[in-house]
Amino acid sequence: MNKHLSFKDGIIDALPICLGYISVAIAFGVLAVQNGLPLWAPPLISVTSLSGTGQFAALDLLKATASYIEIFCAILVINARYFLMSVSLSQLIPPDLKWWQKCIIAFGNTDEVFAVATGKKLSLNFKYMSGLILCAFFGWTTGTVIGTFAGSIVPEVLSSAFGISLYAMFLAIIIPPAIESNPITFTIILSAVLSIAFYYTPYLNRLSSGWVIIICGLGASVISAIKFPVREADDE
Amino acid sequence: MNNNYLIIAIITISLATYMPRFLPIALIKSKIKNNFIKSMLIYMPYGVLSAMIFPAIIYSTGKIATGIAGSVVAIFLSYKKKGLLTVAITSILTVLLFEVIM
């Protein structure tokens, strides 16, 4: 395939992310104000962090006036899964990117951006990644501003229905390749079973979702790699 | 909550978010050659995403019934290889429809 991914392709591919982010970020803004944060703080958090789970957890920590070291460690644990995603993404982006381009891609490597980027069949480039990230960033910050300043006017039924959109998008990313690949289907089912087991097993369900994702995601892919090693010839 | 505390806390949150995203991209400069790690990296996105979807998706709307309805529609349309936007919007509409009916 000779077609190159453009900036516009990135924007278009990120539209479902943008939609999902607006709704989740509205919820973040509303909750932040309820927790007593001044109005300037929630948008600043969204602009500097661009992360869902981490930011929601941060609200609890801020409310409790947790120490800086406590905040740093807690958020790092929640976000440790990004380490896996960035290792994976490092293999997909061109190796000759400039340092500031790498900084931008790293900043925008959220769960959803990672999911869309890895689902692409064409090779990734900086233009495409920046379109993807910009559109996602726009949704996240816009939603936060709406939630912070006008959260009460968004009907609850609408915001709860939007809660499913990012998960639906994840499904649309992982299912089509699974239809054509048994090892991928195996990985998905194994990881889902593990994650469900963690969720419903007493004691295990006390583990934070960040660790559950790492254990299940890493566990399933290690077992798949042992069971179904990809042959050298396959990837050229 | 004073402003000084908040600003330093927000910088701390940002650093703890950025570090795990940045370090691998900054440090891994070449393509990984090891076949086992390469295989693992191919499967990892699917493993990570699957663990994030299940079982969280059925609780994502606040009501399990509407969450399941939306999930079924999303899985069906994904199986039919519809695009991301189509799948996302149709499952939102399904959830809304069920909210209204129930």
Please tell me which of A41-50, A59-68, A166-175, B92-101 the model is most confident about, judged by mean pLDDT. Answer: A41-50
Q: How far apart are CA B99 and CA B102, in angstroms?
A: 5
**A48–B36: do the CB atoms touch at under 8 Å?**
no
Count CB-CB contacts under 10 A for residue A200: 9
Binned at pLDDT 50, 70 and 90, residue A210 comes out as confident
**A88–B41: do the CB atoms touch at under 8 Å?**
yes
- Encoded amino acid at A20, one letter: G
pLDDT over threshold 80, residue A68? yes
Instruction: Answer whether B65's CB lies under 8 Å from B55's CB.
Output: no
Nearest residue on chain A to B77, alpha-carbon basis: A172
How many Cα atoms are found within 13 Å in the side-chain-facing hemisphere of B80?
A: 10
Q: Average of pLDDT values for A171-194?
A: 96
pLDDT over threshold 80, residue A232? no
pLDDT over threshold 70, residue A57? yes
Residue A236 confidence (pLDDT): 39
Indicate the average pLDDT of chain A.
90
Residue with structure tokens 């000084």?
B4
For A95-137, write each residue's pLDDT tens digit. Answer: 889 999 999 999 999 999 999 999 887 889 999 999 999 999 9
Binned at pLDDT 50, 70 and 90, residue A13 comes out as very high
- Encoded amino acid at A51, one letter: S
Q: Which residue has the higher pLDDT, A101 or A63?
A: A101
Residue B32 confidence (pLDDT): 87
- Encoded amino acid at A89, one letter: L
Instruction: Answer whether A31's CB lies under 8 Å from A59's CB.
Output: yes
Residue A78 confidence (pLDDT): 83
pLDDT over threshold 70, residue A84? yes
For chain A, give every domain's residue range: 7-166, 181-236
Selected for mutation to probe chain A from B27, B49, B57, B59 (highest A CB count within 10 Å) is B49
Residue with structure tokens 């609780």?
B59
Instruction: Tally A–B CB contacts below 8 A.
Output: 311
pLDDT over threshold 80, residue A214? yes
**A164–B29: do the CB atoms touch at under 8 Å?**
no
pLDDT over threshold 90, residue A89? yes
| Alpha-carbon gap: B101 to the closest alpha carbon of chain A (Å) | 12
Q: Check residue B62 and report its DSSP letter.
A: S
- Collapsing DSSP to helix, strand or coil, A26 comes out as helix
Q: DSSP for A118-169?
A: HT-SSPP-HHHHHHHHHHHHHHHHHHHHHHHHHGGGS-HHHHHHHTTHHHHH
For A124-170, write each residue's pLDDT tens digit. Answer: 999 999 999 999 999 999 999 999 998 778 787 877 888 888 899 88
pLDDT over threshold 50, residue A34? yes
Cα-only R_g, chain A: 19
Q: Which residue has the higher pLDDT, A211 or A126?
A: A126
Q: Which residue has the higher pLDDT, A222 or A52?
A: A222
Residue B33 confidence (pLDDT): 87
Q: Average of pLDDT values for B36-42?
A: 91
pLDDT over threshold 80, residue A1? no
**Any chain A CB within 8 A of the CB of B78?**
yes
Q: How far apart are CA A160 and CA A90, in angstroms?
A: 35
**Any chain B CB within 8 A of the CB of A159?**
no
